[in-house]
Structure formats: structure tokens, C-alpha cells
């Protein structure tokens, strides 16, 4: 403890320290010499492409993947083309960018995932240099070709290649370059000798960094900070310029007194720190430069690589893995010599009394949550920094990446038990935590080719059985992708959401099963989807047969046909020998028909069907309808527009136009009940004011409706006449209230008209 500040080096206001993270577990004969190296940020994996020991045509380079502690995760000979650059995606996939512009993607364990190309023109011109970068849009790739042209892909998961405009005067590769993300746009900053350009989608703009020392003839290296906010330039005169990435402000300029172009240069700045600082690496020297003229220098005793982090720089060498960072202010407060900050006092007290959370109990109003959660965080961090896991995260990085992502990373490394333990320890809700890990475990499990379906399905169901919110269909989908259809079907059985099972079942061509699952879910849209699918997949006979066995689907399909495919509807009824519905179908169709003959023939079909359905009433009624239509047509020829009227309306029309004989005939032919006929005739005659005919009618035989209606009609008409004559609103209203809206329609209209004139008076 006493020596904790021993490796602290002051630089301006701040201290910097270099601490060892791991002694590397790998055994590399020549260290990192002759290696292409890529290490992912946030303590991610390290990839090495080692050139063969003895260069010969048959020897192939070796691609190796290690954890941060140097534990081997994959190793295989590189059989594809020459590689220019390695890089890691945000989700820990390895990108290998080849000279011909092909980018190959491997997972953490060296399994090939897919590949894409950076454009056809690259094949000829070849990639000179390439960079992998991260932005809010995901992982991107930038290349510069032999023709000195830049091509960008901002997000490799949604590949859109952008070829940037030409840079005037540039031959070959620029002296140095970097990718920037500004104003939601990705740009390239490049130096060609002393000239600096910004390249965006449409233009190439020359820029000058404010206050760059005039001695410089050429910019030989540049670095952009983790957040894309800051830029550092290194000139051939040994000057380091630091400023904002938009080139508006200069932060400082330091003369390093080293004129050799550096091997690597990275920002080393923790969030909220006042001090901008950059780490520069030469063959044997590591230098930290900040705002002041002083620098910190470390000697390097082995070939190393710098990895930029959010809050520092990791230095990976052949034997050691170190972290170089500005000492956090909390640490400074505690450990700085003669510090009187509360933290320092507390530490002293702790040493005296050996109580881990000493002092906490003296604070009654202090909420305990921050203390508890910090302890939890530290425990989680310690467990992932563990040598066998090898993820050297700092607290700042951990907070930035979130627990969710950390769990994802552990899952990706197949460290399922640790992931589950952390979820349980942090009390992450089950479906976000444990269930998610188990799902990944199961997805991995189903890919184990040697194990039989039964035992995998059993193992999965036993482990996942109780976990909430597991999506078995996702696991099944993975099994199906691996060609294990039977296993997929077994797994789907565990899926409680029948809706989720359907798409996969369809994909696996288990359409019958898909249909019953869709029906089970109650989601009719899903049923429709399967039905549509079946309709396209099967021949008509089989399709109808399938529907027949699934009444729910059948009635839905009928609904669909009713609106969309009338002909199919008919076929469906035919297949089921549903003569009643067929009859109805023809009746409906008859109303859409303009020509009387066609209409009659459709009605005849309906009659036939109704007869087959043994629906005597419907058959007879439809025959009557045909009879009426034919009757109406005969009268139509005499100039009466009757077609389409109901029997009652037809009779009424005939009676009011003095076709008494025809009315009489209809009345007999259609066996209209006397009562109704008398009512009809009475109102028709009253409407016409044909009192003479009325008298004849009343006397023709004994009225089946009695004589009261006659009297009422007389009275009503009389009263109405009188009221209208006197133009009395009140009287008209009284008569109106006695009128029936249907039988006394004509009278009603007259009265209403009279009333409104009376009201206007």
C-alpha cells in the first residue's frame, strides 16, 4: 500500500501511471515482431496474423485469437489472400481486410461468418491501407487504394459503399490519415506532406490547423481521440500539435525533440479530465505529452502495440499487458502524499481499525445505495478481470459499456455460468438476464453435431424449463439453420407462444402443423397468413381438403373469398355440398345481374340448390320471385316501371294506376292474405281519392279487416282537409299524429307542407 504512488509520474497538473494488467499467457517466440496485430477496445480480444518463420511459397501465415490475458481462443493457418489490416467490430467479430478489398468476418473462435467486398475497382488497384472504425452507426471500414482513392463503409451490417472524391495531387497513400465522425457524417482527414485535407461525400477541402508550428514540412502521424472530439498531429520537426477535431481550436503544442516518425500515436485522456494528452510510441520509447513542455518517457523493451481506450491506453507486448492512464482524481485524493481529502482520512482510519466499510455507520442520513452498488460493481469487475476470463475493464469503461453488453460479451465467449452468476448477483430481471443467457446457451447447444436430437432437446428443456420469457422458437430457428429440422420441431413444442411457432414451421414446410398452431393462438391474421401460404403451396384439391379439417380456417377463408374471390367461394360450397349456401350464393348473384334473363337463370339455379338442400320454403319463395319478375316484365311492356318492386309495391302501383284486373290476378296467383290485400287496396284508393271505387270495394264482400279502417281513412282525410283549409298549425299537428308514416304517406306530405306554410305566417 505504501508504494501505491511509486509508479505515478507527474505531468502538468495530473499524474500518470502505468500498471501491469496481465503477464501474457501466450508463448510467442519472437514476440509481436512480424505480426499484424489488432486488439479490440474495452478489454476485448487480440488477433495476430503471424508471418511464417521461413518465407517460402508453401508456408502460410497463422491467424491466432487470444483473450487480453493471452489465452488462446482460436488458431488456424490463413488460406485466403494477403491481409492488409485486422480489426474488431463492436460485437467482437474479427474483420480481415485483404489486399483485393475483400473483407472476411470471423467470430471470436475463428469460425468464418461471411464476407463482403469494398468495391470492384479495388481488385485492380489493391488496398494500400485500411482502417476499422466505430461510430454510433456501428462498425465501419475505410480503405485507400493504389489509385489514391478512398472508399468508406459506415456500417458493415448495412453495407453502403461510398467512394470519396479525388484528392488533388495525391500519389500513392497519404503520409497519414484518420476517420472522423462529425455532425452525423463520416469524413476522412488526411495529410499529404504539409497539406491537410478533409474529405467528405462530395468534396475535398484543404484545411489548416490553427497555430501549427511553422518549422514543420510534413505531418507524419495523426490520431483522433476515442470520442472523435480531439485531434493530434505529429510533424517531421518533432512537434506534437493538439486541438479540437473540427480544427477550430488549438489546445497545445509540444516539442518532443524526437524527429523520427512514430510507430503509433494514440490519445490518452479520461472523460472529464482537464488535461489533453497523447501517447506516442517509437521502437524503444514510449512518450506521454500533455499541455506542458515536459513529457513522461518510458523505455520499451519489447515490440508493443497501443490500444486506445475510453480512459487510457493499453500497451500489449510479447510478455506483458499494461495500462497507461491518468490517475483518477479519486485515487489522487486518497493516495497523494499528504492528502487530507476525506477519502485519504478514511483510508487511514481503515488501516487503524481494519473495518472494510468503516465510517459508514456514522452517517445516518447517507443513502446506502451508492455504496452497495459500487461494491457490487467492483465484485463484477474483479470477476471479469480474472486471468481465465481476461477482460481488463476499468470502472469507467464498465459504466460506459453497461452490464447488458458485458453479459453479451461473456455469452459470446461462451462463459455462460459466469454470465448467469453475474445476472443473479446483480438481480437483473429474469427475461433480460438469466433467460437471455440460457437462450444463447441453448442456441449454442443445438449446434453440437455429435449429440442426438433427443438428448439435446431434453437438456435444453431441463435447463430452460423454469426460466421466464424464453423464446424457444429462436432456439428452434437456430437448430433449423444447422439443418436439424427434427430437433427444431421438438424444441418448438416447448414454445408457449403458438404465434411464434408459425413462421418457423412454415419455413420448415410443416404447414399443417403451422395451421393448427395459428388457430391455437387465436390470432386470425396469423391463420390468414398460413392459409394464404397453403393456397400457394398446395394444389386446389389438397388445399380444400386441409381447410375442411380445420373449420376455423375454413370459415375465415370463406370470409376472405366473400370479399375477394366470389368464384372460389362457390367452389368451396360445392365441395362441401352446401346446397343452402349455394342457393344463397345464386340469389345474391342474381341481384348483381342487369339482364332479366340471366337473372332468372341464376334464380333457377338457386331453386335447384334449395331443392337439393330440402329447403322447400326457399325454393318456393324463389320460384315466386321468378314468377313476379316475369309478370312485371309483361307489364313493363305496357309502360309501367315495375321491375324490382316487391309484390306489395307492385300491387299498390297497379291499384293506383287502375290496373285492377291485373292486381286481382296477382292477389289470387300469389295467395295474398285477404286482410293484407284489403288494407293495401283501401290505402291505395284513399291515396288516389278514388271514393267511388272505394265504395264499390267496401261493398264487394264482407271486409276481413272490418269497417273501422274505412271510417278512419274517411275521417282522417276529412279532418286533414278541414285543418289544411283553416291553416291551423295545432289542428294539422293533431291530424299528423294520427297518421301512420307508411300507409298515409301522401297525406303526411300534404299535411307537413301545410304546416310549414302555416308556421311561416
**Binding interface with another protein (CB under 8 A):** 430-431, 435, 467-469, 496-498, 520-526, 528-529, 532, 551-552, 555-556, 558-560, 563-564, 580, 584, 587-588, 590-594, 617-618, 621-622, 624-625, 628, 644-649, 670, 672-673, 675-676, 679-680, 683, 737, 740, 742-743
- Give the residue carrying C-alpha cell 437456430: 478
In angstroms, what is the minimal distance from the CB of 373 to another protein?
22
CB 67 within 8 A of CB 389: yes
In the complex with another protein, the residue whose CB is nearer, 102 or 622, is: 622
3 state SS of 691? helix
| Alpha-carbon distances of 660 from 94, 486, 637, 645, 653, rounded to whole Å | 98, 81, 17, 17, 10
| Alpha-carbon distances of 464 from 19, 469, 496, 753, rounded to whole Å | 42, 10, 13, 81
- Please state, in angstroms and rounded to a whole number, the distance separating the CA atoms of residues 323 and 17: 8
Pairing of strands 304-309, 295-299: unpaired
In the complex with another protein, the residue whose CB is nearer, 9 or 615, is: 615
In angstroms, what is the minimal distance from the CB of 476 to another protein?
16
CB 558 within 8 A of CB 528: no
Residues in the chain: 761
In the complex with another protein, the residue whose CB is nearer, 42 or 544, is: 544
In the complex with another protein, the residue whose CB is nearer, 211 or 465, is: 465
3 state SS of 101? coil
Q: Which of 201, 209, 218, 129 is nearest to 164 (CA)?
A: 201
Nine-digit cell string for 339:
492528502
Residue 274 burial (CB count, 10 A): 11
Nine-digit cell string for 182:
462529425
Nine-digit cell string for 508:
420448415
Nine-digit cell string for 256:
518532443
| Alpha-carbon distances of 525 from 337, 519, 530, 684, rounded to whole Å | 72, 10, 9, 54
In angstroms, what is the minimal distance from the CB of 592 to another protein?
5
Contacts of 211 (CB under 8 A, 6+ apart): 241, 250, 253
In angstroms, what is the minimal distance from the CB of 320 to another protein?
46
Burial of residue 656, with CB atoms counted within 10 A of its CB: 0-12 exposed, 13-18 middle, 19 or more buried: middle
- Please state, in angstroms and rounded to a whole number, the distance separating the CA atoms of residues 128 and 172: 8
In the complex with another protein, the residue whose CB is nearer, 387 or 560, is: 560
**CA neighbours within 13 Å on the CB side: how many for 29?**
5
Alpha helices in 538-672 (DSSP H): 540-548, 551-564, 566-575, 579-592, 596-612, 616-636, 647-656, 660-669
- Please state, in angstroms and rounded to a whole number, the distance separating the CA atoms of residues 276 and 243: 9
In angstroms, what is the minimal distance from the CB of 559 to another protein?
5
In the complex with another protein, the residue whose CB is nearer, 56 or 737, is: 737
In angstroms, what is the minimal distance from the CB of 523 to another protein?
6
In angstroms, what is the minimal distance from the CB of 410 to another protein?
21
- Please state, in angstroms and rounded to a whole number, the distance separating the CA atoms of residues 474 and 455: 19
Residue 566 burial (CB count, 10 A): 13
In angstroms, what is the minimal distance from the CB of 720 to another protein?
17
CB 17 within 8 A of CB 325: yes
In the complex with another protein, the residue whose CB is nearer, 40 or 530, is: 530
In angstroms, what is the minimal distance from the CB of 702 to another protein?
17
- Give the residue carrying C-alpha cell 505504501: 2
Q: Which of 104, 117, 114 is nearest to 145 (CA)?
A: 117
In angstroms, what is the minimal distance from the CB of 676 to another protein?
4
- Give the residue carrying C-alpha cell 509481436: 32
In angstroms, what is the minimal distance from the CB of 541 to another protein?
23
In angstroms, what is the minimal distance from the CB of 599 to another protein?
9
In angstroms, what is the minimal distance from the CB of 78 to another protein?
41
Please report how the helices 498-507 and 511-521 are oriented relative to each other, as an axis angle in degrees rounded to 10.
160
In angstroms, what is the minimal distance from the CB of 677 to another protein?
8
- Give the residue carrying C-alpha cell 399443417: 512
Nine-digit cell string for 542:
389438397
- Please state, in angstroms and rounded to a whole number, the distance separating the CA atoms of residues 32 and 60: 17
In the complex with another protein, the residue whose CB is nearer, 5 or 529, is: 529
Amino acid at each position: 500500500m505504501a508504494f501505491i504512488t511509486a509508479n505515478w509520474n507527474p505531468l502538468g497538473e495530473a499524474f500518470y501511471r502505468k500498471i501491469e494488467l496481465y503477464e501474457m499467457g501466450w508463448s510467442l517466440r519472437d514476440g509481436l515482431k512480424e505480426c499484424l496485430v489488432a486488439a479490440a477496445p474495452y478489454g476485448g480480444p487480440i488477433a495476430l496474423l503471424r508471418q511464417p518463420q521461413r518465407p517460402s511459397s508453401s508456408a502460410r501465415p497463422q491467424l491466432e485469437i487470444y483473450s487480453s490475458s493471452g489465452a488462446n481462443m482460436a488458431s488456424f493457418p490463413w488460406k485466403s489472400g494477403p491481409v492488409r489490416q485486422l480489426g474488431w467490430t463492436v460485437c467482437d467479430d474479427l474483420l480481415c481486410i485483404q489486399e483485393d478489398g475483400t473483407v472476411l468476418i470471423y467470430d471470436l473462435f475463428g469460425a468464418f461468418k461471411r464476407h463482403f467486398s469494398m468495391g470492384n475497382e479495388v481488385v485492380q488497384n489493391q488496398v494500400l491501407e485500411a482502417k476499422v472504425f466505430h461510430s454510433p452507426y456501428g462498425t465501419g471500414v475505410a480503405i485507400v487504394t493504389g489509385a489514391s482513392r478512398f472508399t468508406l463503409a459506415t456500417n458493415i451490417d448495412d453495407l453502403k459503399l461510398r467512394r470519396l472524391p479525388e484528392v488533388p495531387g495525391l500519389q500513392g497513400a497519404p503520409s497519414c490519415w484518420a476517420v472522423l465522425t462529425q455532425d452525423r457524417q463520416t469524413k476522412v482527414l488526411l495529410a499529404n506532406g504539409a497539406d491537410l485535407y478533409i474529405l467528405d461525400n462530395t468534396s475535398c477541402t484543404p484545411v489548416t490547423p490553427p497555430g501549427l508550428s511553422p518549422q514543420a514540412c510534413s505531418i507524419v502521424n495523426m490520431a483522433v481521440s476515442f470520442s472523435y472530439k480531439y485531434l493530434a498531429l505529429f510533424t517531421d520537426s518533432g512537434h506534437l500539435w493538439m486541438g479540437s477535431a473540427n480544427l477550430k481550436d488549438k489546445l497545445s503544442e509540444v516539442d518532443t525533440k524526437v524527429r523520427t516518425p512514430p510507430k503509433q500515436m494514440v490519445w490518452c485522456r479520461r472523460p472529464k479530465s482537464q488535461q489533453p494528452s497523447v501517447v506516442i510510441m517509437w521502437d524503444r520509447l514510449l512518450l506521454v505529452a500533455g499541455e506542458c513542455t515536459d513529457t513522461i518517457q518510458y523505455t520499451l523493451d519489447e515490440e508493443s502495440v497501443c490500444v486506445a481506450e475510453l480512459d487510457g491506453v493499453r500497451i500489449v507486448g510479447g510478455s506483458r499487458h499494461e495500462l497507461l492512464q491518468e490517475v483518477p482524481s479519486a485515487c489522487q485524493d486518497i493516495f497523494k502524499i499528504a492528502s487530507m481529502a476525506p477519502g485519504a482520512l478514511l483510508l487511514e482510519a481503515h488501516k487503524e481499525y481494519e473495518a472494510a466499510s468503516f465510517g459508514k455507520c456514522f452517517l445516518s442520513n447517507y443513502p446506502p445505495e451508492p455504496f452497495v452498488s459500487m461494491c457490487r460493481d467492483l465484485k463484477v469487475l474483479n470477476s471479469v478481470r480474472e486471468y481465465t476470463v481476461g477482460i481488463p475493464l476499468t470502472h469507467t469503461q464498465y459504466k460506459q459499456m453497461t452490464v447488458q453488453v458485458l453479459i453479451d460479451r461473456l455469452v459470446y465467449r461462451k462463459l455462460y455460468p459466469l454470465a448467469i452468476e453475474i445476472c443473479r448477483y446483480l438481480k437483473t430481471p429474469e427475461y433480460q438476464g438469466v433467460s437471455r443467457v440460457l437462450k444463447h446457451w441453448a442456441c449454442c447447444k443445438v449446434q453440437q453435431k455429435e449429440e442426438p436430437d433427443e438428448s439435446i432437446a431434453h437438456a435444453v428443456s431441463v435447463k430452460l424449463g423454469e426460466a421466464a420469457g424464453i423464446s424457444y422458437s429462436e432456439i428452434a430457428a437456430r437448430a433449423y439453420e444447422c439443418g436439424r429440422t427434427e430437433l427444431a420441431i421438438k424444441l418448438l413444442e416447448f414454445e408457449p407462444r403458438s404465434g411464434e411457432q408459425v413462421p418457423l414451421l412454415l419455413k420448415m414446410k410443416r404447414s399443417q402443423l403451422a395451421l393448427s398452431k395459428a388457430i391455437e393462438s387465436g390470432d386470425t391474421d396469423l391463420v390468414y397468413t398460413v392459409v394464404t401460404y397453403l393456397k400457394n403451396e398446395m394444389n386446389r384439391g389438397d388445399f380444400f381438403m386441409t381447410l375442411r379439417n380445420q373449420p376455423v380456417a375454413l370459415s375465415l377463408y370463406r370470409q376472405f373469398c366473400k370479399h375477394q374471390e366470389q368464384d372460389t367461394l362457390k367452389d368451396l360450397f360445392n365441395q362441401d355440398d352446401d346446397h343452402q349456401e349455394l342457393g344463397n350464393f345464386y340469389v345474391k348473384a342474381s341481384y348483381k345481374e342487369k339482364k332479366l334473363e340471366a337473372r332468372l337463370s341464376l334464380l333457377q339455379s338457386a331453386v335447384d340448390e334449395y331443392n337439393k338442400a330440402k329447403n322447400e320454403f326457399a325454393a318456393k319463395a324463389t320460384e315466386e320471385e321468378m314468377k313476379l319478375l316475369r309478370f312485371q316484365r309483361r307489364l313493363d311492356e305496357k309502360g309501367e316501371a315495375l321491375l324490382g318492386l316487391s309484390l306489395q309495391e307492385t300491387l299498390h302501383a297497379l291499384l293506383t294506376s287502375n290496373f285492377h284486373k291485373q292486381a286481382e290476378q296477382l292477389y289470387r296467383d300469389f295467395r295474398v292474405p285477404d286482410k293484407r290485400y284489403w288494407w293495401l287496396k283501401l290505402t291505395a284508393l284513399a291515396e288516389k281519392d278514388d271514393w267511388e271505387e272505394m265504395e264499390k270495394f267496401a261493398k264487394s264482400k264482407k271486409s276481413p279487416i272490418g269497417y273501422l279502417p274505412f271510417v278512419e281513412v274517411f275521417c282522417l282525410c276529412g279532418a286533414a282537409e278541414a285543418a289544411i283549409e283553416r291553416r291551423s298549425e295545432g289542428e294539422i299537428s293533431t291530424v299528423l299524429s294520427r297518421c301512420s308514416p307508411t300507409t298515409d304517406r301522401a297525406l303526411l306530405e300534404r299535411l307537413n307542407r301545410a304546416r310549414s306554410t302555416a308556421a311561416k305566417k
